[in-house]
């Protein structure tokens, strides 16, 4: 699809729409992409990122990452940093699946050890980690106890035996955004979420058994620092978020913001999906506290899933999870808003950073990442399609221009409806198994939606992040087994 005529190339990987492109733009809009990716970018990206550039209080630029595509409000891959005193907070800049994120877990097993038992392993994971729409987890909670989970995040899991202490260290913000307040969450949201801890959900969520092959290691020193130490090492990656709980939190506050945005605060947006409120307003602060509850629920959800994964590997291979080396590499969120300190025009400033389908990627030496990663930079996980593979990367010291943010996945090129029309789930499963990837799915239609051809080339996206200093490639991880939501 042709890019707008006003789009200017700033560098090999930076493209800009000037403030003159659209009435009301306060800052330019920048898309990070190679020429190949920019030429394939859908028109919705240019429309949406330029709308984001009109939001009150936005600083420097509105951004879209290399995996960008049309989304709700912000494009998927959208990034915007707001002045917390003059700016707004927008659920459309965070997403309905609040703290949808990625977690990567090590083992000391090799492909040769796992291959003979792969079907048994994936089948067991499929039964122990519920997937699909409406799936319920094994953790039974009262509404009150669920609210405690939402306020405490991964620390609740540690107290109740679902986490190792080092898991919290290896999770962004130690698995808890402070300031979560469950009194700011609706009863409807609690009703939707209280029985979903430990579940994958549906859509593009997955649990994948992967292999780090020697030929796919880009940086051996950093790979070792991240725990990739043996040839053909087996790892586990999974992707999920806050399920119906986060969706309801976003829905509730979008409706509230639509009712007060213009009448009470005089704010107009180009798109109702960018409904917002001043960050320091009562409504803005209430949403921020509720959003943090959904963030923490998602951290707890992924932590309980890890607990189940460790149980399955222990049962299948007859060894303790500690003996199997089932340590976390990292857990990163990609649908959040967070107060962070960044350099703006040479001065340190506190900013409210919206990341929508975009991943925090702090560079070497930055505060907020585990001490063991201070020299390498934060581990970054970019998930690809279930057919192609995913990437482990590291935060780049040159990432300051984008507030140390990178891509989150490969990015769709085909709608879910179109994918289901073109692809048959059962045939796709057979084809993948012939190529050495064993898949279990909760839905044939859901499997078809997630076929590799529905996504951008993950190698192109990862290369673009490295060329633009968003994050640097460490290892490409290839799938051998997959549980699909």
CB 385 within 8 A of CB 474: no
469 labelled ligand-binding? no
- pLDDT, residue 452, reads 67
DSSP at 388: T
Question: Which residues are CB-neighbours of 476 under 8 A, at least 6 positions away?
Answer: 216, 218, 389, 390, 391, 392, 459, 462
Q: Is 363 annotated as a binding residue?
A: no
The CATH number for 8-413+455-484, chosen from 3.40.50.1220, 1.10.420.10, 1.10.40.50, 3.90.1860.10, is: 3.90.1860.10
Q: Where are the domains of the chain?
A: 8-413+455-484
In this prediction, residue 1 carries a pLDDT of 55
Smallest Cα–Cα separation from 425: which of 395, 458, 386?
A: 386
Instruction: Give one word for 134, left, alpha or beta, with left for phi > 0 and alpha for psi -120 to 50.
Output: left
In this prediction the pTM is: 0.96
408 is catalytic: yes
Does 239 show up as a binding residue in the annotation? Answer: yes
Q: How far is CA 458 from CA 85, 190, 202, 311, 463, in A?
A: 38, 36, 21, 31, 8
Is residue 459 marked as binding? no
Distances (CA, A) of 376 to 120, 170, 295, 464: 36, 14, 26, 20
Burial grade of 1 (CB within 10 A; 0-12, 13-18, 19 or more)? exposed
Question: Can you tell me the distance from the alpha carbon of 69 to that of 46, in angstroms, rounded to the nearest whole number?
Answer: 9
365 carries a ligand binding annotation: no
Q: Identify the pLDDT of residue 456.
A: 78
3-state secondary structure of 111: helix
409 annotated as a binding-site residue: yes
Residue 186 annotated as part of some ligand binding site: no
Burial 181-193 (b: 16+ CB within 10 A, else e): bbebbeeebbebb
Distance CA 359, CA 470 (A): 10
Q: Is 160 among the annotated ligand-binding positions? A: no
Q: Is the Cβ–Cβ distance between 407 and 382 less than 8 Å?
A: yes
- Residue 206, annotated as binding a ligand: yes
Choosing from 307, 342, 408, 469, which is the catalytic residue? 408
- 335 labeled part of a ligand binding site: yes
Residue whose tokens read 């990627």: 361
* Strands (DSSP E) found in 58-100: 58-69, 76-82, 88-89
State the maximum Cα–Cα separation within the chain, in Å, rounded to a whole number: 64
What is the CA 370 to chain-centroid distance, rounded? 19
259 in a known ligand binding site: no
Q: Please answer whether residues 128 and 312 qualify as being in contact, where contact means their C-beta atoms are separated by less than 8 angstroms.
A: yes
> pLDDT in tens for each of the 485 residues of the chain?
578 999 999 999 999 999 999 999 999 999 999 999 999 999 999 999 999 999 999 999 999 999 999 999 999 999 999 999 999 999 999 999 999 999 999 999 999 999 999 999 999 999 999 887 777 888 999 999 999 999 999 999 999 999 999 999 999 999 999 999 999 999 999 999 999 999 998 878 999 999 999 999 999 999 999 999 999 999 999 999 999 999 999 999 999 999 999 999 999 999 999 999 999 999 999 999 999 999 999 999 999 999 999 999 999 999 999 999 999 999 999 999 999 999 999 999 999 999 999 999 999 999 999 999 999 999 999 998 878 899 999 999 999 999 999 999 987 777 777 878 887 888 888 888 888 889 998 778 888 877 768 777 999 999 999 999 999 999 999 999 999 87
Q: How many Cβ atoms sit within 10 Å of the Cβ of residue 458? A: 24
């Amino acid at each position: 699809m042709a890019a707008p005529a006003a789009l200017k190339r700033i560098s090999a990987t930076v493209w800009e729409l000037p403030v003159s492109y659209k009435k009301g733009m306060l800052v330019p809009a920048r898309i990070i992409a190679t020429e190949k990716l920019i030429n394939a970018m859908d028109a919705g990206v240019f429309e949406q990122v330029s709308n984001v550039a009109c939001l009150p209080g936005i600083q420097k630029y509105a951004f879209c990452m290399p995996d960008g595509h049309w989304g709700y409000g912000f494009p998927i891959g959208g990034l915007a940093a707001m002045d917390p005193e003059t700016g707004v907070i927008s659920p459309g800049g965070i997403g309905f699946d609040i703290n949808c994120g990625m977690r990567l877990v090590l083992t000391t097993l090799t492909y040769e050890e796992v291959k003979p038992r792969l079907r048994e392993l994936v089948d067991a994971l499929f039964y122990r980690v519920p997937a699909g729409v409406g799936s319920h987890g094994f953790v039974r909670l009262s509404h009150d106890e669920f609210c405690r989970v939402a306020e405490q995040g991964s620390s609740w899991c540690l107290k109740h035996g679902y986490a190792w202490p080092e898991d919290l260290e290896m999770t962004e913000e130690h698995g808890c955004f402070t300031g979560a307040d469950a009194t700011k969450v609706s009863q409807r949201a609690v009703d939707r979420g209280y029985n979903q801890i430990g579940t994958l959900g549906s859509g593009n969520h997955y649990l994948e058994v992967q292999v780090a092959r020697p030929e796919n290691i880009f940086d051996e020193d950093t790979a070792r620092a991240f725990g990739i130490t043996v040839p053909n090492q087996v790892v586990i990656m999974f992707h999920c978020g806050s399920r119906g709980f986060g969706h309801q939190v976003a829905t509730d506050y979008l409706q509230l913001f639509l009712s007060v945005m213009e009448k009470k605060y005089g704010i107009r947006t180009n798109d109702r999906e960018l409904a917002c409120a001043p960050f320091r307003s009562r409504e803005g602060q209430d949403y921020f506290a509720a959003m943090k509850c959904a963030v923490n629920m998602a951290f707890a959800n992924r932590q309980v899933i890890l607990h189940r994964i460790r149980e399955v590997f222990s049962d299948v291979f007859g060894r303790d999870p500690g003996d199997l080396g089932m340590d976390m590499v990292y857990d990163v969120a990609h649908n959040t808003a967070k107060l962070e300190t960044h350099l703006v025009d040479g001065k340190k400033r506190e900013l409210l950073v919206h990341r929508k389908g975009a991943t925090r990627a702090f560079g070497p030496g930055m505060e907020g990442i585990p001490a063991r990663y201070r020299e390498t930079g934060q581990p970054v996980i970019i998930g690809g399609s279930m057919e192609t593979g995913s990437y482990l990367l590291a935060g780049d010291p040159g990432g300051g221009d984008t507030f140390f943010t990178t891509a989150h996945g490969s990015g769709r090129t085909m709608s879910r409806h179109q994918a289901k029309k073109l692809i048959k789930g059962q045939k796709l499963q057979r084809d993948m198994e012939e190529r050495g990837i064993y898949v279990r799915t909760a839905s044939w239609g859901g499997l078809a939606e997630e076929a590799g051809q529905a996504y951008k080339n993950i190698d192109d996206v990862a290369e673009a992040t490295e060329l633009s200093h968003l994050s640097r490639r460490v290892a490409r991880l290839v799938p051998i087994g997959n549980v699909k939501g």
